[in-house]
Structure 1
Amino acid sequence: MSKLRQLRLGAFIQATGHHVSAWRHPDAQIDAGLNFAHYKHIAQTAERGLFDAVFLADSPGVWGGAPESQSRNGKIVHFEPVTLFSALSAVTERIGFIATASTTYEDPYTLARKFASLDYLSNGRAGWNVVTTGNENAAANFGLAHHPEHSQRYERAEEFVEVVKGLWDSWEDDAFIRDRESGIYFEPEKLHILNHQGKHFSVKGPLNVGRPPQGYPVIVQAGASEAGRDLAARTAEVIFTANQTLEDAQAFYADVKGRLAQYGRSPDDLKIMPGAFPIIGRTEAEAQEKYEFLQSLIHDEVAWGILRQYYKGVNLTQYSLDDPAPELPNDTNNNKSRLKLVADLATRGNLTLRQLYLALATARGHRTIIGTPEGIADQLEEWFNNGAADGFNIMPPILPTGLEDFVNLVIPVLQKRGLFRTEYEGKTLRENLGLRRPDNQLAIARSQKQLVAV
């Protein structure tokens, strides 16, 4: 008898929580971004809830904006993810750690080394969220006059990922025999020199870390533009995506899964996990009251700051918050898929600027779900059972209580319905996500050459 399909869950954490003004909420850990005890509690809570992984978004630069709105940002400083997860791996046992790192502003060798190290430190629980970076302010931190163009960033990203995989394949899994009697530490034929020469990178190798316990840390991707979808179909094993409606989520799911075959991959090789921002009450009225209180914490200047992120080049001083939302720009060098999602949201609902910023203040275009534990579970189940998701990236509005509520109230409902595990299936992130361990491509190439020679 085959095992029933079960959903996957990531705990997407942002310091004080995902709501733009979460830090002002009395339940929030106000110094969360630089508070290790806070993150330790969050990771252990997510593990208690049997989540697959904790996920941290990141950018190699401070997000900009007018000084007045920027000064009201409670999430502006925070730990670098790989450093934080290395520490958290020592106080957890099964939960995975997915860290964001940029292919535009990092180096393949250094990145490969960091993530291989995290995979060893965590005993096979590391994941890499591949981003090209939408934050234009990052460029000046790396000596660049301008943020590279969107198409250039994705072209570089494709080569970057292949180089990193090649470096992770520097050593075969059983290369290190460590034989004291013979004095041989590793078998030299099981060391592979990459010798990559490409348009963007020249990397010899080998990596000075052994092949990661998972073969490769799990590769995650979040882009939903045309270039992002193609990169994901070629390389990603998990996609974190933003969708507002069941129909949009189904279309995205079918499109990306449909691209896998051309790269020799099957639908099971890729898990699609839309973001979900749950506001949970023991009654519908309590959930709605929580939502309205959170929204009341948004200062007007923060509201305008949210809108300016998407209305680049548009003079918003001619509008009031109660005016109909004007047409958004049709192009950006930042996050193209998110701009389209916001434009569709404004158009579909004929929103005013106030309604638009309130919609974005919660989850920045991800799906907001308000209700009882049973109601939240109903909505997750609907998408999961109707070709829209393999799981969800849960975005707690405030931390730590938002995650505690999900673990204590929603997880038991999902488990009772047979939709979610009651214990971890394996010890590594790959095992728990149901992903295969990748073969060493450089070892395969060596074997093929030996067969040809014979």
Structure 2
Amino acid sequence: MTSSDAFTGENFRRGGFLDRADRYTRAAEFVAAARELWDSWTPDGTPRPFARTGRHFTIDGEFGVPRPPQGHPVVIQAGDCDEGREFAASTADVIFTRHGSLEAGRAFYADVKRRLARYGRAPGELKIMPGVTLALGDTPADAREKAAEIRRQQVSPQTAILTLEQVWGVDLSGYDPDGPLPDIAPDPGSQLVQGRVRHGDPPAVAAKWRALSEEKGLSIRQTVIEATGRQSFIGTPEAVAAEMAESSPPTPPTASSSYPI
């Protein structure tokens, strides 16, 4: 996961944040350097001197951590933007993702699997781990009520405004989270959205959210709750089990119909 803002970046030596293209260039160099470090130990368990000079990292010395039995630890990437998908296809073992529907998840699955061929990788070399939520109840109505309450607790009024600011790129603290969406255009060049990976195309996301809000008569908070939710399985245990089975890939999986959970 690449750092998405200067606040997060202050936890690391470099500080600040990079533009999206530079972030993934740095991430690729980081993974390449890490792999070289893991490989710097001899098969008999002896560390060897290591030196690497790159645009972002200059390292020399001996790697003090023994090589793991499997050679390299599992590399997991999380992110849904185009650059993140490409980065996962080029170097990751697992990609974590979240989508609001099975159809969106299947489209993501097919897109990521198609990218693997560019790097000489087989479809099975990248595993996809989607994030889902479960809300179980004795009846479907009980489960729906529980799911709605969980989402209300996850998206507070303050969180709704902050999430909207990441899309609009302007200070929206004066807006009522229980009121309508802003009637102003988003500013994708704003410092509020620089470096963000959550919304790769703020104007398109804003248009989509506005259409959703107008169609269903949703407030800011209600729109954020509905637009940002991951795929949810809501119902009785039996119904959820059946739906999860439907979402699992066939054997062998196909790029168009699979979305393993």
TM-score with structure 1 length normalisation? 0.48
Per the TM alignment, residue 302 of structure 1 is displaced from its structure 2 partner at its CA by 4.4
Corresponding letter in the other structure for 2:84: G
How far is the alpha carbon of 1:201 from its aligned partner?
1.3
Q: For structure 2, list consecutive stretches of 5 or more residues without a partner in the other structure.
A: 250-255
Q: Cα distance 1:276–1:342, how it changes in 2: closer, same or farther (>3 A)?
A: farther
How far apart are 1:211 and its partner, in Å?
Answer: 0.9
Q: Distance in 2 between the 1:170 and 1:342 partners? A: 45
Would you say 1:357 and 2:224 are equivalent positions?
yes
Q: Looking at both structures, which has the greater relative contact order when contacts are Cα pairs under 8 Å and sequence separation is at least 6? A: 1
1-structure distance, mates of 2:259, 2:186: 28
SS state of the match for residue 132, structure 2? strand
1:148 aligns with one of 11, 18, 24: 18
Residue pair 2:181, 2:219 contacting (<8 A) in 1 also: yes
Residue number in structure 1 paired with 2:252:
none
Q: CA deviation at 1:268?
A: 0.7
Contact 1:220-1:240 within 8 A present in 2 as well? yes
3-state SS in 2 of match to 1:336: coil
**Aligned partner of 2:179 among 304, 322, 328:** 322
1:322 match: secondary structure: coil
Correspondence 1:262 to 2:118: yes
Q: Which residue of 1 aligns with 2:35?
A: 165
Query: Is residue 300 from structure 1 mapped to residue 144 from structure 2 by the alignment?
Result: no
Please state how far the C-alpha of 1:276 moved relative to its aligned partner.
Answer: 0.7
Q: Deviations over 1:79-106 (max 9, x none)?
A: xxxxxxxxxxxxxxxxxxxxxxxxxxxx
Q: What letter matches 2:77 in structure 1?
A: Q
> 1:158, CA displacement in angstroms?
0.5
Alignment-mate amino acid for residue 291 of structure 1: A
1:149: Cα distance to partner?
1.8
C-alpha contact 2:50 2:63 (8 A) present in aligned 1: no
SS in 1 for 2:134: strand
The change in CA–CA distance for 1:320 and 1:229 in structure 2 (over 3 A counts) is closer
In the alignment, the residues of structure 1 paired with residue 233 and residue 149 of structure 2 have an alpha-carbon distance, to the nearest angstrom, of 15
Q: SS at the partner of 1:240?
A: strand
- Cα displacement (A) at 1:315: 3.6
Deviation at 1:164, TM superposition (A): 0.3
Which of 257, 275, 279 is matched with 2:131 structurally? 275
Partner-residue secondary structure (3-state), 2:242: helix
Q: Secondary structure at the match of 1:218?
A: coil
Alignment-mate amino acid for residue 379 of structure 1: E
State the Cα distance separating 1:214 from its structure 2 match.
2.2
Given the alignment, which residue of 35, 45, 63 partners 1:207? 63
8 Å CA contact retained: 1:167, 1:205: no
Q: How far is the alpha carbon of 1:269 from its aligned partner?
A: 0.6
Structure 1 counterpart of 2:9, one-letter code: A
Q: CA deviation at 1:287?
A: 0.9
Partner of 2:6: 136
Q: Which amino acid aligns with 1:157?
A: A
Are 2:243 and 1:379 aligned? yes
Provide the C-alpha distance between the structure 2 equivalents of 1:306 and 1:139, rounded to a whole number of angstroms: 19
Distance 1:286 1:216 in 2: 46
Calculate percent identity across the aligned residue pairs.
34
For the residue of structure 2 that corresponds to 1:256, the secondary structure is: helix
Q: 1:107-256 residue pairs with structure 2 within 5 A?
A: 131-142=1-12, 146-173=16-43, 175-176=44-45, 186=46, 191-256=47-112
Distance 1:304 1:169 in 2: 46
> Which residue does 1:334 correspond to in 2?
195
Secondary structure in structure 1 of the residue aligned to 2:129: strand
The separation in 2 between residues aligned to 1:151 and 1:320, in whole angstroms, is 33
- Which whole-Å CA distance do the structure 2 matches of 1:266 and 1:349 have between them? 38
Deviations 1:95-125 (A, max 9, x none): xxxxxxxxxxxxxxxxxxxxxxxxxxxxxxx
Taking the aligned partners of 1:239 and 1:250, their CA distance within structure 2 comes to 14
Q: Structure 1 pair 200/299, CA: closer, same or farther in 2 (3 Å)?
A: closer
- Could you tell me how far 1:144 is from its partner in structure 2? 6.1
Give the TM-score normalised by structure 2: 0.78
Tell me the residue number matched to 1:289. Answer: 145
Closer, same or farther: CA 145–195 of 1 in aligned 2, 3 Å: closer
Cross-structure match for 1:57: none
- CA RMSD across the alignment: 3.0
Residues 1:336 and 1:138: Cα distance change in structure 2 (over 3 Å): closer
Q: What is the CA distance between 1:213 and its match in structure 2?
A: 2.1
| Whole-angstrom distance in 2 between the partners of 1:345 and 1:135 | 24
Tell me how far apart the structure 2 counterparts of residues 205 and 145 of structure 1 sit (CA, whole Å): 24
CA contact (8 A) 1:169 1:192 kept: no
Work out whether residues 325 and 356 of structure 1, in 8 Å CA contact, stay in contact via their aligned partners in 2.
no
Equivalence for 1:404:
none
